[in-house]
Structure 1
Amino acid sequence: MKMKAISIKIEYVFMRVAALFFLAFVVCIFLQLLSRYVPAVTLLWPAEIATYAFIWTMFLGAAVMVHHQEHFKIDYLFEKLTHGRLLAVKMISHLLIGGFGLMMTIFGFQLVHLFWEWTVNTLPQLQQGYLWLALPVSGLAMVWFSISNAVDDLQEYQLERGGRTE
């Protein structure tokens, strides 16, 4: 299977999971409002779940934005450069974003390991490691998407140049 096809499938999954987390976020915010303004309703856990859901939504969305090359992009520079210089800037960008994703993955796994046994105050059966798992998951996706984007840009450059190098 080609990298592009795998990237599209990863994005598909990430977008659906992010949508579910966003839905959970909205429901928890609604429950928090009920808990504040309806005296008979007392819920402490929605704030924690809303935080977890929001963090997961944002990190999954950030990875998808890397796939679309809409993250950390300086449009002005990309519009002014052409051919080999544009490719060089794109490759540096992919390398930096991939390196950032790699650091998220490495340090994210360390945080998951460190906080795995910790529990949430208002929901003791939920481990904090699940929150920190958003870092390595999205970091791995960012690395994958950066590599996939670099391969796509190289192929596009080769097609543009007719297979010749500059």
Structure 2
Amino acid sequence: MKILTNFIARLQISLGVLLLVIFLAATLIQVVTRYLGISVLWTEEIAVNSFIWAMFLGTAVMVKENKHFGFDVLTHYFQGDKRSVLVIIQNLIMLIFCLFCSLYSVEITQAFWNSRWISIPEFRQGYVWLIMPITFISSSVYLVDNIYNEAKTLSCFKGASWNSR
């Protein structure tokens, strides 16, 4: 599972960096063309949508790395198995949230799939919304992996045969 999650994370980071470069290029084109008095409408939509995709991809990777937004006040007060159980419960709550968001984001993507962009009518809005199911499904995979890794640290599972995998 670790090989799969690492591959997905590297892919998401690489795609996120590429999309940030596209965002910066579109923004630069927009600034230059406005300075020159030329109207280039598509740059705004490209910039916004590439930025959205980059941020969502980065969010999923932050879930993998346990560097996401969270309330870890209690985590600092506990040690050992109590801390691990608390982390597992927190990850289970986030997993349930991500699974519901996965389901609803697929519905949203399907609902907006045939909508068209304003400045580039040849493009469909569905591609923009597709990042949501990708993010929530990959975050769910990362959370399952995090729960598994945290469960391996519990003393009741130390020495178990599945611990050595």
Q: What does 1:23-62 correspond to in 2, within 5 Å?
A: 23-39=21-37, 41-62=38-59
Q: Is the 8 A contact 1:26 1:50 kept in 2?
A: yes
- Is the 2:152–2:158 Cα contact (8 Å) retained in structure 1? no
**Gapped runs of 5+ residues in structure 1?**
none
Partner residue, 1:9 = 7
Which has more strand, going by share of residues?
Answer: 1
1:20 paired residue number: 18
Aligned residues: 160
> What is the root-mean-square deviation in Å for CA atoms of aligned residues?
1.7
- 1:88, 1:155 → 2: CA distance? 11
SS at match of 2:70: coil
C-alpha contact 1:97 1:142 (8 A) present in aligned 2 = no
Identity of aligned residues (%): 27
1:150 aligns with 2:150: no
Equivalence for 2:61:
64
* TM-score normalised by structure 2 residue count: 0.90
TM-score (norm 1): 0.90
Which stretches in structure 2 are left out of the alignment for 5+ residues? 161-165
2:128 aligns with one of 108, 126, 131: 131
Matches within 5 A, 1:75-154: 75-154=72-151
SS of residue in 2 equivalent to 1:74: coil
Q: Is the 8 A contact 1:18 1:61 kept in 2?
A: yes
Offset at residue 97 of structure 1 (A): 1.6
